[in-house]
Amino acid sequence: MDRKFIAIIPARYASTRFPGKPLAVLGGKPVIQRVYEQVSGVFDEAYVATDDVRIEEAVKAFGGKAVMTSAAHNSGTDRCFEAYAKVGGDYDVVVNIQGDEPFIRPSQLLAVKACFEDVATHIATLVKPFTADDLFAALENVNSPKVVVDKNMNALYFSRSIIPYQRNVEKKDWLKNHIYYKHIGLYAYRTDVLKEITALPQSPLELSESLEQLRWLENGYTIKVGITGTETIGIDTPEDLERAGEFLKQQSL
């Protein structure tokens, strides 16, 4: 069945670590423009959802589409639903792409789209396998959530801790002995499901781990997981922007 997909890119101006991040210039273009250009063309429609007129004006200046949303949202998921409700249209799936991911790849977006070939999918997300060459410190990084999946690639649990724990195996061998999955913060939701999950109260597991996707699992929603071998490069700080600039230069060589 052909499905219509709309991409929503939440972009806030206020940021504790990097105010004005969506408008920061990366290789001669605002970060938000680079994200938009990576996304448009993969989906039937794309919008930037923002709470700041400066971002709205910047998006329109480069020919993109923007929709103003409330400044009171607690998550990108909530902002996506308001934007989708305002835009309207007959879409089957809303895709939430973070506004600080200028190097998101079309292949990653297509992997998320493919999750909806399974009619049982309510929500889709993306993971990248850790490799045996990765440092153990990367695996235990609490800012990099891990995911365990079932045989059908549906998420069983997300955690900031290392899951599963390998009993009777030395930690130096954990990455060689088991495939761990790093969560990539890219989501897609069936439109009816998006409406439902934004009305749910925060759940105990979500509050414990500070991961909103646990609210969805606790309420019985199926989260299908797509796999990518490509590392994403997000921008959270001015230092990240400098590193992204160097990466962009290398890509242009």
SS3 of 5-66: EEEEEEECCCCCCCCCHHHCEECCEEHHHHHHHHHECCECEEEEEECCHHHHHHHHHCCCCE
C-alpha span between 176 and 172 (Å, rounded): 8
> Which residue shows structure tokens 């700080």?
237
**So what's the pLDDT on residue 1?**
61
Please state the separation of Cα 157 from the chain's center in Å: 17
Phi-psi label, residue 153: left if phi above 0, alpha if psi -120 to 50, beta otherwise: left
pLDDT, tens digit only, all 253 positions of the chain: 689 999 999 999 988 789 999 999 999 999 999 999 999 989 999 999 999 999 999 999 999 999 999 998 888 899 999 999 999 899 999 999 999 999 999 999 999 999 999 999 999 999 999 999 999 999 999 989 999 999 999 999 999 999 999 999 999 999 999 999 999 989 999 999 999 999 999 999 999 999 999 999 999 999 999 999 988 788 989 999 999 999 998 876 5
CB atoms under 10 Å from CB of 54, counted, come to: 12
> Could you tell me the pTM of the whole model?
0.93
What is the identity of the amino acid at 163?
A: I
**What is the predicted pLDDT for the residue at 17?**
83
Residue 225 has what pLDDT?
A: 98
Helices (H) and strands (E) in the chain, counts: 10, 11
Q: How many whole angstroms separate alpha carbon 218 and alpha carbon 37?
A: 35
Q: 124: how many CB neighbours lie within 10 A of its CB?
A: 26
pLDDT of residue 234: 85
Q: What is the pLDDT of residue 41?
A: 87
* Rounded Cα gap, residues 147 and 221, in angstroms: 15
